[in-house]
Structures are given as C-alpha cells and as structure tokens.
Structure 1
Amino acid sequence: MEIHSDMTDRPIPVHDNAGRRRMIDRLTRRVVTACGVAILLVMTLLFFWLIWVVVPLFISPGMHAGNQIKLWQSSPAIAMGMDRQQRWGWRIDHQGSGRFMPLSAEPPSAELTLLRGDIRASASADHESVLLLSDSGAMVLVKPDFPQGEEPRWKFPLGDVPLSSGEEHVRQFSLAQSADNRWQVALATADHITLWRLEAQQPAQNSRLNVRDVDHLLLSPDGSLLFALSGAQLRVWRIGNGEPQLRDSLMLAEPPESMMFLSGGSSLLIAYDHGISQWFDIASSSGPHLRQIRHFNGAQWQPLMFTEPHRRVFGTLSPQGELKLFASKQDGAILSRQLGAGIELAQFSPEGDGLLLERAGSWQHYRLTNPWPDISWRNLWQKVWYENYPEPDYVWQSTSANDYYQGKFSLVPMVVGTLKAAGLAMLFATPLALAAAMYTAWFMTPQLRRWVKPSIEMMGALPSVVIGLIAGLWLAPKIADRLLGVLLLPLLLAGVLLLCGWLMQKLPPRWRRCWFAEGREVLLLLPLLLLTAVFALWAIPLAEQALWGQGLAARLSVDYQQRNLLVAGVAMGFALVPLIFTLSEDAIFSVPASLGQGSLALGATQWQTLTRVVLPGASSGIFAALMIGFGRAIGETMIVLMATGNTPVTDGGLFEGLRSLAANVAVEMPEAAAGSAHYRILFLSALVLLIFTLVVNTAAEVVRQRLRQRYSQQEVQG
C-alpha cells in the first residue's frame, strides 16, 4: 500500500523576534525617558518663571542721581514740587515769586510775583494747591498747572486778588482741599484758631476756636479733622457744617518737635528728639479715637521731614545730608543714602518715584525706584495693624474705591482656608473611599464588583464646576434647612452599621447563610442605610420645627453662613471619593492572592486576613492614593469658589466661609493690573501652592517607598 503525504522533509521556519523586541524596548525606554525629562524641564521652567515674576516684590529701593539745575532766584524757597512726569519743577520763594524750571537743566520760565511781602506757604496733602500768607494777613491760593504739550502756568482758583484773613501774627496755618472747588484754611494766633471755608465765586465763611499757644496745626486732607498741638497737649476737632466739636484731647509724654500726615491723613506722624511714632484712629463704642500704634526703628527727628503725597512713605534728612526713607508697614529704614550737607528743602514727586533737593543756588534731581513700599515678607505672613482696625490682624483686601487705599495682602487667610477645606474633604472622603475599596476588593462577589467599581469610577468624570454649581445652588440651602440632621447623619450611619454587625453575630448560622450570603450583605444593608438617612434628613428637621419652631441654622443666625466650610467639605469629599477609591481598590486587589489564601488556611478570619496581611501589603498604594487625593483637594478651585462664599478669613469655623489659594488666584487674576503688587502677589500665591504640592508629594513618595520596601521584605521573609 502506497502512502502519499504532502509533508516534506524541509524544516518549518522559526521567526526570531528577539531583535525586534529589543528594538521596541529600547525605543519605548527612550520615549518614556524623554517624556519624563520634558515634564521635569517644564516644571523647572514654571518654577523659575514664577520666581522671576515674584522676586521684584522684595528688591530693595534704589536711588539714581539726575540733573543738577541752577537756580535763578536768590531768596530761599518756601514751597516747591514737580509734575507727575518729572519734566518740570516749580518753586515759590520768601518774596512771593514763583517760577517753573525744566528738570532737564534748560533755562527757566519767567518769574511771576504771586503775592507781595514776607511770605509763608502751606500746601495741600497732594501738593497741588498752595496757600500763600503774607505778614500783613493777606492770603492767596495758587496752583501749578501742567497742561499737556504746553508751558506750565500758575492758576488762581479763588482769583488773583489777595483775600484778607483778618489776622496778624499768625503762628501756624494749614490748608485742606475738601472738594473740587472748596478749600478749608486754619490759622492759629497766640490765643485762638480761625477756620476759613473758601469756595470759588462764593463768600468766605469762618469760625473761631479759643485755643492758646498752638505750636503745630494740621487739617486732614479732606478737611474733616483739625489737629492742634500746644506743648504736650494734642487736641482733635471734628469739623462739619456747624461749630467744630472736640473729639480727642491727649496729653503726650513730652512736647513733640513736629507732626505731619501720611497719605490720606489716616496716619499721623509725631516726631520727638528720640524717635518718630505713628498714630491713627481706632474704632470704639464711642467712635474713632486717636491712638499711638508704633515707633519706627532707627527713625529720629530731623529738621527736614517730608512725606509722599499718595503713599505712606516719609523721609528724614539730617544736617549732614543723611537721607533715610521709611514706610508705614515696614521695620526700619527702607533706604539710606549719604547726600552731603547743605540741603535746605526736599520734596517727593507726586508718584513718589522722584526726589527734588534744594541747596543754596541749585537743585538736585533724583530718580527713586520704590514701587511697593508696603510689601515685605513679614507683612505677608504676620499680623499687621492697619488704619481703623482695632488690632493687628491677617487681612486680605486687594481693592477699594478710595484713592488713598492701602492694599492689604496677607496670604495667611488663603493658606488656612486651603488647609481647612482640604482637611475636611479628606475627613469626609477617606473613610468612605477606603471602606468601599476594602469591601469591594475583598468581600464583594466578582459579579457584583464588575458593576460597582465602574459605577463609582464614573463619579470621577463629573467636572468640578458642575459639582460646585450643585453645591452652591442646591446643596447649601438643603444643608441649611436640615443642619442638625446632616451633623447627626454620620453618627447614625455608624451606629446602624455597628448594630447590624452585632445582630448578625447573634443570628443562628443557618439564618446568616440564608439571609447574609457572603459578598452580598450590601444588598440588605443599603435599604437600611437609606432609611437611616431619610430619618436623619426628614424626621429630625420635623422634630426641630415642632420643638423650637426653627432649625439649627436659624438659631445660629449670625454665626451661620449658607455657603460655608461644611458645604465645601461635603462637595469636595464627593469629588475625592472616586479617586481615592479607585487607587486604593487597585492596590488592595493587586496583593497576591496566595498571601490571603495562606492566612485563611492557617485559620485566620477574613477580617484578620484583611487587616493583618492584605492591608499592610497594599499600604504603599493606599498611602499614595490618600496623598494624590490630598493634592487634588489642595489644588481644587471651582468647588471651593462656588460653595464657600469666597471669604478670606482666618478664624472662621465650620459654618463660615473661606477662600483658598487656588480660588483666590482664579478670582483676582483677571482684575489685577499686569506688573502691579497685586499681580505679583497672586503669582506668589501660585508659587506657594506649587512648592507646598511638591513638598507634600515628595514626602509622600519617600514614605510610600519605605512602606513598600518594608512590607516587601516581610513578604520575602514570610
């Protein structure tokens, strides 16, 4: 019998794929390495870019010499100043002659006699109006005007005909501009003070105060307060439409050498031989009252003291020419220079970015670099005492309608708010997520797990803005209506679970096998837990209404804000549960089954196996899940923004609002002027958030690696 076969004696070719696999492995390794290096490079560039934006906040002020200008007037000056662009300077001498001089050292304009006689001058707070007073009591109001593209000129808001003050031998006088075309003048003689109200094209009005021996006299910039210093006694009057009312009468420790206002008249500087102190009003039950706040370190009274028109900065010049600049919210001098002796008068530019000094026969112009005098590292992290506040506090208040407003930039409220919101969210999410992960990975049947795990993971697909919107518009009012039930709900749920566990142990084994099939207990527990939640959120509020007539939130009234930390914690916790659950469940499920089976074979219960074998083996993954969730909570923006009221407070409790660093940046960055202090401090907030996240993640990775190494060694030894 002949057998035919299609098979041949040729060997079957075997394709060797080892070289192809090695090439793919090398390519994959290089791509992954390149991507990792690119990510590190981007993070490094981001870090240094943030530092580059922030560093100018903390650069020391600078001073650069400009032109030296020859004076064409031999009489000493009684008032001088500059325009905002620092192109022109103006000067009024003792003989009442005024002249404009270019700061480019070009020839000056013609001299103009403003008032004849032996003249004294007092300027308004912004140095835009000057009152000239002659020895005979005549007074005239002048204003240097700098039209765009034209030569500067002198304006006379009340006319160029001198007004008679009716006073001779005036010892002190002060000027304040209370409205666009309205001024107030205070004149102090040996035995009284005369107050004048001057208005364009209106008759002058005056009133009189019987005060003797006034050494120093000041009107607040808006003309609402009058300060008079007689020896060591300081009096403050409130000026209104009627007669002035004495508000404060203080006896100082010794007679001061001088006093002057900082910007806006909110702060008063009183200079003694031994130092300079700052005073401002403090609110009380009887109204605002003047109080000494602080002494400036290293500041001493000098014959020349001058202040900026619009910022809380002042300078002192010693007879030897030592210049020191001080800011109201910084310790010590922010700038110190030796300029040489012989300086007779000094004045800041309107924006504080220039300084004009007069010596005999010449001017010296300086450019100043001091854009943010109130910003320091200390002010960002320590309590600061601001005007009209009862005590030092952490304050974030970046905008105001007042031109004299001082920005308050404390990062402490946002840091505290960030940590409080993240901590409460983790407190809410961690027990739920870990308990769900342990039950799903260890106790639940595989068929049920295939439904439950994807369902919980789908919760993570909800956008933060949607969760924040629901929390702010729907959840916050519901929690306010059922506050007591919401607070009792976790306790009731825990109690019901413990009771069910105790009752299950008391049931006969046959009943437990019949009604509580292993891995399906949740099907019976869920309805019971839902009934408990309905009881807490429906029956308890009804009982409250029956007993007290109102809910807990209404009884708290002032202490309760509808959008608060509790609402944010619940909403953020809901957003964190899917993330922590997924990573923790994967970590528990990835523990080798042989470890659990060996423990069960040795007689351990399932709970003992889970807590003593499985969880230690998965501890590194669980810890990583918690740290990733905490990092997500720290950087959360929209939920915190929409659910908390966005209130930058430090001492708020569970029922008050807050503001986080991320939410603060998101809210205020669009309205911050590029390059301003506000703009750079928001970048500093982002830098602080980035550093905090990097530190937490680095520490978490170190701990995770140690846990992994420790339990890996135990597994090998076991």
Structure 2
Amino acid sequence: MIDNHIPVQFSDTRRRFIDRLTHRVVTACGVGILLVMMLLFFWLIWVVTPLFTAPSLQPVSHFALWQPQPAVAIGLNSQWGWRIDQHGTARFIPLSGEPAEPALQVASGPVQAAITADKSAVALLQPDGSLKLIAADFTASNGEPRWKFPLGDRALAISTQPLRHPAVARSAHDRWLFAAASDNTIELARLQPNQTPVIQTLSQAGTDQLLMTPDGKLLFALADNLLRVWRITADNITLRDTITLQEKPQNMLLLSGGDSLLLAGPSGIAQWFDIASPTGPHLNFIRNFKGAEAQPLFFSEAHRRVFATLSPQGQLKLFASKQDGAIFSHSLPAGITAAEFSPQGDGLLVERAGQWNYFRLHNPLPDFSWRSLWQKVWYENYPQPAWVWQSTAAEDYYQAKFSLVPMVSGTLKAAALALLFATPLALAAAIYTAWFMSPALRRWVKPGIEMMGALPSVVVGLIAGLWLAPRIADHLSGVLLLPFMLAATLLLCGWGSRRLPPRWQRLCAEGREVWILVPLLLLVSLLTLWLLPLVDGWLFGRGLAERLAHGYEQRNLLVAGVAMGFALVPLIFTLAEDAIFSVPASLGQGSLALGATPWQTLSRVVLPGASAGIFAALMIGFGRAVGETMIVLMATGNTPVTDGGVFHGLRTLSANIAVEMPEAAAGSAHYRILFLSALVLLLFTLMVNTLAEVVRQRLRQRYGQHEGQG
C-alpha cells in the first residue's frame, strides 16, 4: 500500500495570532485613511470659513477734542488721527486718547476742503480764491506725525472771485489738478511745485458739486440734474458726456480706483461707470443698491470699493461694489457730523459733539459673496454681466473677479470629452481582449495596454501641447472624420468576413482576426489624416482650422480631450477587462451550450454580469478626468472662459489651483477662494463616487440575483 500522506506542520495558535494581527493592522490603516480624509475635509472648511464671516464693529476709544470749530476734513492711520477745522487749524490727535499735538494754523478761514481719492492730501480753498495743499506724513523715523506742503507753504492764487465745491487729484508724482466752481464757470488749475498755476476756464453755470478721478483724467460736474463729464488731457479739456438725470442727486462719490461713480438721490444710490462704444467710453447707469438711501454722511474707503452711509440718527450701513445690498448695518449714537475709514478699512473714526469715537472694523473680504461665485456679476467697464475669473492685474486699483463657473464648466467639458474619447476604445478593447482574443495573445496585449497607464501625465501633456496640438490644427478635417472612417471600416470588415471563401475564413479564425484588423485600421487612419487635408486644402485653398467662423485656438478642448482620453484608456480598460473576465466561465459556456451565439452570450449574459465592474471603471475614469491637472494645464491654453467651444481653450479647477496657489497671498480672498474651489472639487468627487457606488451596488444585487437563480 502506497502512503500518500504529506507531513505538514500546522499551528492553530500561530495562525489565529497572524489572522488577528492582520485584521487589526488592516482595520487601523483603513480607519487612519478615513481620519486623514476627514482631517483634510475639516481643514479645508477651516480655511474657507472666514469667507463667510459677517463684518463686525467694536469700540476702541473715545475722547474729547477741545476744539469747538466743525471739521472740514479728518483722517487717520493705525495710531494717529488728524483734523482740519473750518478756520484752517490742523492738529494731530492720538487715537489712544493721549494729549493731542499742538495745533498748526495752515490756512485762513473759513476754508473749504477737498481730499484726494487715496486720502493722502487735502486742498484747502480760502475765501480769497487762493489754495493750499497739505498732507499728513507718518513716515518720520521718530514716529511723530508732521504736516507737509507738496506745493509749498505759500498760498497759490487760483481766482479773484469766490469759488466753491473744490476737487483735487494727483495726476503725476509732482503734478496736481485742482478744480472749483464759480457762478458761471469752472476753474481748473494745473499745479507744480515752484511754478505758477496754469488756469483753464470751463463754461458751466450753477455747479453743485465737482469730483475728479484719482489720475485726474476725468472731471464730473453736477449742476441741478445735469451731469457733465469732462476729459482732461495734457493739452486740452473736452466735454465727453452730458447726461440729464431723472432727479437731482444730493451727493456724488467715487469708489476706489475712480471707475465707479455713485449718485445719491431721493430714489437711493445708483452706480455708474464707463462702457466702451464705437465712439469711445461713455458713462452708463448700471444699477441701484438695494436698501441704500441718500444720507448727509456719504464716504468711501481709500483702497477698496466699499462705501458707507450714516444717517443723522446714527444708522451706519456698509456697501460693496459687487454686492446687491448692505453687507453690514450698525446703530451708532445720533448727531455724528464727520466720519472716515482707516486706510486699510479696518477702522472707523467718527466725530460727534466735540468728541472722537474710534471703532475697530472687521471687514476683511467685503467683495466676496456666494452669489458672486456662481452668478453673473457686472464688473466695472464690462458691457454686461458675465462670469469672469481674473484674480490679478498690473494696476493698483484692479477689481478682482472670482467666478468659479468658468473653471467648473471647463472641468466638466474636459472630463466629458475625455470619457467620450476613451470609453469606446477602452470598453471595446476590454470586451475583445476578455471574450474573443486568444489566451496566448491576451497575455501580451493586456500587460502592454496596462503599461500605458505608467506614462506620467506631465509627459502626456507635454506631447499634447507641443507635438499633437499643431498637427491636429494642420489635419483638422481628417481628425474629425477619423472616428467615422474607423467605425465604417469595422462594419465593412464584419460584413465582408461572412462572404469570404471558406479557405480565407480559416485565416481569420476566432481570436486571430486582430492580425488583419490592426494593419487595416492603421492604413485607413493614415489615409484619412493625410489624404483628406490635402483634398480640403486643394478645394478651399486653406485648411479647415483657418476657415472656422469663430476662430481656432491651437491648444483647445479637442486636444485636451484626446490627450486625457489617451491617459484614461489604460485605467478603464484594466478595470473593465477584469470585470468581464471575472464573470464565471460556466455562465458563458451554459449559454453557448443552449445554442446562443458568442455575441448573444456576450450581450445578454457576460456584460450584464460585469455591469457593476464596468460602471465602476467608468466612474473611476471620470474621477481621474475631473482631477487631472497637468494635461489640461499644458494642452488647453489655460484660459478661464465659459462660452468657448471644442476649438477654444478652457481652464479646470485643478489646473487653476496649481497655477495660482503659489502667487496667492496667504489669508487673502484669492487664497481662500482657491481653497474653496478645492473643497468644491472634493465635494463634487465625493458626490459622484457616492452615487456611483449606490448604482454599482444595485447593479450587483440585481444581476447577482439573476446569477443565483440561474
């Protein structure tokens, strides 16, 4: 008798210990991954939360002024406030409430004051028609403030007749423009240090108010309900716009940068700014701010497009240029006669009953709102509301534009086109490899396609941007026709293979037809890409890309879709092929034994059984396409537009984060909105994966039940 027993040393205790250890390690790793994901999620929320924090106002100090004369101009920095009264007395006052500096008589009163748009200088108009320009200087090394006179400490004669409603602007480093109104004219003075003022006279009677843009290029003159806009150049002054308003405004104000003009009247506060036209830029009415009412105190920040109204009863309301209504409202004591923002917008100084009250204002992101991220906003000088992302520019007074719609649109368009390109190729290859291909050939083809997935996406993007993009532009007609030519070739081959002689059909035995199809498809592709553009150029004299009505950008959505699709093919193929190959062979063999054809077995037995895995492959591929960065960054031109077609550029959320995060100042609105876009991308991916998992489980249960019944 032959003993077939093979001695095996086996320890139940050792095995149970290893099983418990492995179980605990795997569980700990899984829980750790979940904790890391949750930590990342909550960290993003923590960074983004300040975007939605409401403004606040806290009192800091209040103290007596011991100056009975009303102020014509006040201002402040972080530690000092300054005040000029109507008798021309100027004084620096510590915001801490300490004793004030000695007063300085800078002009003979009663004076009228005009402040530059950046609050850096004050023009004092004296009763005799003379002018003094004064500025508060806080740059001394000893920390003590001082008064400076940019045009000298002697008064400059502007006019021999009484003037009113002064306005001042700094047109260059050492050049100033000053305007004031008389009964029938407007006197405009060009001022330079140590030079006689150059006076120009404009005809306009009954002027109620004058304003000048910060660069001194435009002068707004209001007379009753008639608004005139004068354009000022180095050589002359021309009347650009004459607008008859429906009602007489009570006040005018320019926002930071000087592009937006605010008119406060009985109907509220209206915003106006220039819009380009065939005859040049012209002032246009844009909108009314909701809940904004004309008040005696109407003032703005120096460096942000924020303004405030303050009623005699002490009701303070803050508004921002990109918001529909008030962003903050607060009740202050009644009887306030003067108010001013700090240069950075983090403080508010008010004067009331011979006292100053200083408040700490927390309003770091006044222009941000959830609406501005997703809805169209009418930005300054744009012809109409639009979705725009443009975070930086060269000018100091640039109005940042943060709309996520262009990036979300670009992300979805790029992912959809990539899936449209990759899905037919990957699924067709997976079906053929798993069901029809011979096992020997499958052992070579499957690893070869999977190796494509190891190609870095930056390499794919580089090839797409530098090599593929110009060639698609040169052969656009052939590229667009190629999918139809390949499909027609496959259909013709299937139809013709059944009509071949039996001897030839044996050469195309099942599993070996690929050796004939691949060279034939390559030949058809070469002929389509080479011959058709030649015929197109011979017929029309130029290629299809040059004839498109809406233009053609060399790096566009089509290039990105092809490149991303190429990167998605290995991933979708591998998962789908494994799902099809994992369907129990007994199911297919039973179907064939009952008389079904291979195609019937594939479509009615194998594919339904593998549908959950195939759907998971498509969703994982979609997630990869949504999060792809380098390919879309290098192949699309990286242009954040919404209405572009397949032949125009785009920008995705991930590419936008990669490009702009290194340039974003930490803690700024730009910085936090980039983190918000990352959070949106994470939530979108989470929602898609959750939905995909629900669908996959239902498919698995449905066809799993059928398999069990079979």
How would you bin the TM-score normalised by the shorter chain? over 0.9
Residue of structure 1 equivalent to 2:582:
590
Matching residue within 679, 689, 706 for 1:687: 679
Deviations 1:235-285 (A, max 9, x none): 111111232111111111111111110111110100012311111111111
2:48 counterpart letter in structure 1: V
Residue of structure 2 equivalent to 1:609:
601
1:176 counterpart letter in structure 2: A
* 1:56–1:439 distance in 2 versus 1, CA, 3 Å: same
**1:450 partnered with 2:443:** yes
Q: How does 1:397-546 map to 2 (within 5 A)?
A: 397-512=390-505, 514-546=506-538
Structure 2 CA distance for aligned equivalents of residues 12 and 564 of structure 1: 67
Structure 2 CA distance for aligned equivalents of residues 716 and 234 of structure 1: 83
**1:127 partnered with 2:116:** no
**1:114 partnered with 2:106:** yes
Structure 1 CA distance for aligned equivalents of residues 573 and 242 of structure 2: 67
Residue of structure 2 equivalent to 1:359:
352
**1:382 partnered with 2:375:** yes
Residue of structure 2 equivalent to 1:56:
50
**1:327 partnered with 2:320:** yes
Identity %: 67
Does the CA-based 8 Å contact 2:156-2:197 persist in structure 1? no
1:544 counterpart letter in structure 2: D
Residue of structure 2 equivalent to 1:176:
169
Structure 1 CA distance for aligned equivalents of residues 339 and 171 of structure 2: 26
Q: How does 1:658-669 map to 2 (within 5 A)?
A: 658-669=650-661
**1:35 partnered with 2:29:** yes
Matching residue within 329, 339, 342 for 1:336: 329
**1:554 partnered with 2:546:** yes
Matching residue within 388, 392, 416 for 2:385: 392
Residue of structure 2 equivalent to 1:633:
625
1:526 counterpart letter in structure 2: V
> Displacement of 1:351 after TM fit?
1.0
1:127 counterpart letter in structure 2: K
**1:705 partnered with 2:697:** yes
Structure 2 CA distance for aligned equivalents of residues 510 and 132 of structure 1: 107
**1:579 partnered with 2:549:** no
Does the CA-based 8 Å contact 2:339-2:349 persist in structure 1? yes
Structure 2 CA distance for aligned equivalents of residues 510 and 602 of structure 1: 28
Q: How does 1:647-662 map to 2 (within 5 A)?
A: 647-662=639-654
Does the CA-based 8 Å contact 1:566-1:654 persist in structure 2? yes
Deviations 1:620-643 (A, max 9, x none): 000000000000000000000000
Q: Secondary structure at the match of 1:467?
A: helix
> Displacement of 1:14 after TM fit?
6.5
Structure 2 CA distance for aligned equivalents of residues 136 and 693 of structure 1: 71
**1:318 partnered with 2:311:** yes
Deviations 1:355-390 (A, max 9, x none): 110012210001111111000111011100000101
Residue of structure 1 equivalent to 2:75:
81
Structure 1 CA distance for aligned equivalents of residues 543 and 402 of structure 2: 38
Select between 61-70 and 461-470 the one with higher mean Cα deviation: 61-70
Structure 1 CA distance for aligned equivalents of residues 580 and 476 of structure 2: 36
**1:190 partnered with 2:209:** no
Deviations 1:587-640 (A, max 9, x none): 000000000001001111101100100000000000000000000000000000
For structure 2, the residue ranges without an aligned partner over 5 or more in a row are none
Structure 1 CA distance for aligned equivalents of residues 245 and 267 of structure 2: 14
Q: How does 1:256-335 map to 2 (within 5 A)?
A: 256-335=249-328
Structure 2 CA distance for aligned equivalents of residues 624 and 102 of structure 1: 68
> Displacement of 1:708 after TM fit?
0.5
1:597 counterpart letter in structure 2: Q
> Displacement of 1:417 after TM fit?
0.3
Q: Secondary structure at the match of 1:263?
A: coil
Structure 1 CA distance for aligned equivalents of residues 692 and 385 of structure 2: 36
Select between 68-77 and 565-574 the one with higher mean Cα deviation: 68-77
For structure 1, the residue ranges without an aligned partner over 5 or more in a row are none
Structure 2 CA distance for aligned equivalents of residues 504 and 13 of structure 1: 58
> Displacement of 1:26 after TM fit?
2.2
Structure 2 CA distance for aligned equivalents of residues 97 and 646 of structure 1: 57
> Displacement of 1:555 after TM fit?
2.1
> Displacement of 1:541 after TM fit?
1.6
Structure 1 CA distance for aligned equivalents of residues 144 and 609 of structure 2: 84
Structure 1 CA distance for aligned equivalents of residues 520 and 8 of structure 2: 64
1:587 counterpart letter in structure 2: A
Does the CA-based 8 Å contact 1:469-1:642 persist in structure 2? yes
Q: Secondary structure at the match of 2:548?
A: helix
> Displacement of 1:220 after TM fit?
1.1
Does the CA-based 8 Å contact 2:112-2:164 persist in structure 1? no
Structure 2 CA distance for aligned equivalents of residues 214 and 605 of structure 1: 93
**1:142 partnered with 2:117:** no
Structure 2 CA distance for aligned equivalents of residues 27 and 153 of structure 1: 76
> Displacement of 1:127 after TM fit?
1.0
> Displacement of 1:510 after TM fit?
4.2
* 1:14–1:555 distance in 2 versus 1, CA, 3 Å: closer
Q: Secondary structure at the match of 2:349?
A: strand
Structure 2 CA distance for aligned equivalents of residues 220 and 27 of structure 1: 74
> Displacement of 1:558 after TM fit?
6.0
> Displacement of 1:652 after TM fit?
0.6
Deviations 1:677-707 (A, max 9, x none): 1111110111011101111111111111110
> Displacement of 1:16 after TM fit?
4.3
1:657 counterpart letter in structure 2: G
Structure 1 CA distance for aligned equivalents of residues 60 and 14 of structure 2: 73
1:239 counterpart letter in structure 2: I
Q: Secondary structure at the match of 2:511?
A: coil
> Displacement of 1:331 after TM fit?
2.3
1:227 counterpart letter in structure 2: F
Does the CA-based 8 Å contact 1:171-1:190 persist in structure 2? no
Deviations 1:124-144 (A, max 9, x none): 001111000111112111111
